[in-house]
Structure 1
């Protein structure tokens, strides 16, 4: 499914609440940063606050607004504060609800995968939400969000005709393995981290962010070497 010559994994740092954390994510080389618009989350920021933080971003770093079962008016109000935002729907939103709320904006739809991988048809889910720019695969735990837990990546389907974003329990210690396991199963792969680079809930650790980015790049280099070796043998 994946292009063997494209081994650059895109990185999103989610749950940002402070200016210094936005700056640290940008300095480390993140492609996107996420602002949680779900008021039951410890990483929640208001739409106005998200707008203030997003205005620190340089060109080509994408702000992402994360919603959980929000109404169309709430989504649009947040988009007015962050005009360049991509959207992420992380609740129980139907296909039509996503389309109505996005109003033509690019969006990701979260797929909440059971920790043992059982009983969830990711291929069907990706087909149903084919209007989404990507499907974010996260662990299904109580509440919304992965709760810092990883599901069993090896149980994902071997071929998903979609761009995937791997999330849920990622850390600098395990993200390389996650990328190596999941990348061959989809069109392209990105990664999304929140608690794995935190000092405490909603407070990021710049050193952990840098370690995470370095681990992602190590996975990219490993896959590139493997591809080059395969091509040399043919």
Structure 2
């Protein structure tokens, strides 16, 4: 049995970062996507990453980003993990992994069982998969939409790589989500905000407590 991993994504202020680190979470996500209300500049990201270094894994979330911009993030922010949340191909994920010598996590949007087939291709090259709900119609954000999917789809999923559960999680449903999906890692962003892009420290604290109240049903 494996301890549950918790990732808080979309951190954009030093106050939120410090509070999150004090809770002992495993991963902190920095969003590099200008359309997102959680987007951070390279200057902000460098400060936040330095705060987290050695305390939690720093995850750089990007969406269909060009190699020059990825290289700049890698050089200046030095994340532990690149999270690709767009339409990046397995080949692009593999290339980034080799080029930057960093772990790669690939987000896969889920609405029904057929979407899991896509995960098989990415599981060959990615170090971890992140299952998120498909964005609602009209949304130009691939994640952080506060939408869930059928967690039972992931039960007994046989993948070569570990996965992280995301999409519409909050303190009220994360325990049920873990139990139903069998996830040993969870990710939250909008579910711990008081308004779009603004994290609520009390909601983060409640989410972490609720997630840790459940024992993972399976090891990675």
- Cα-Cα RMSD: 1.8
Give 1:65's aligned residue.
Answer: 60
1:83 offset after TM fit, Å? 1.5
Does 2:181 match 1:203?
Answer: no
3-state SS of the aligned residue for 1:56?
helix
Larger Rg computed on CA atoms: 1
Q: In 2, distance between residues paired with 1:124 and 1:113?
A: 10
Q: In 2, distance between residues paired with 1:128 and 1:207?
A: 35
Give 2:75's aligned residue.
Answer: 80
Match among 132, 139, 146 for residue 126 of structure 2: 132
Give 2:158's aligned residue.
Answer: 160
Q: In 2, distance between residues paired with 1:84 and 1:152?
A: 31
CA contact (8 A) 1:106 1:132 kept: yes
CA contact (8 A) 1:123 1:160 kept: no
TM-score, with length taken from structure 2? 0.89
CA contact (8 A) 2:155 2:180 kept: no
Q: How many residues align?
A: 211
3-state SS of the aligned residue for 2:51?
coil
CA contact (8 A) 1:126 1:135 kept: no
> Which is further off, 123-132 or 45-54?
123-132
CA contact (8 A) 2:190 2:196 kept: yes
Q: In 1, distance between residues paired with 2:184 and 2:114?
A: 23
Unpaired stretches in structure 1, ≥5 consecutive residues? 225-234
CA contact (8 A) 1:71 1:101 kept: no
Give 1:13's aligned residue.
Answer: 8
**Ranges of 4+ aligned residues in structure 1 off by more than 4 Å:** none
Give 2:104's aligned residue.
Answer: 107
Match among 28, 41, 47 for residue 33 of structure 1: 28
Does 2:147 match 1:149?
Answer: yes
- What do residues 11-52 of structure 1 show as CA deviations (whole Å, max 9, x unaligned)? 010001100000111111211110100111111011222111
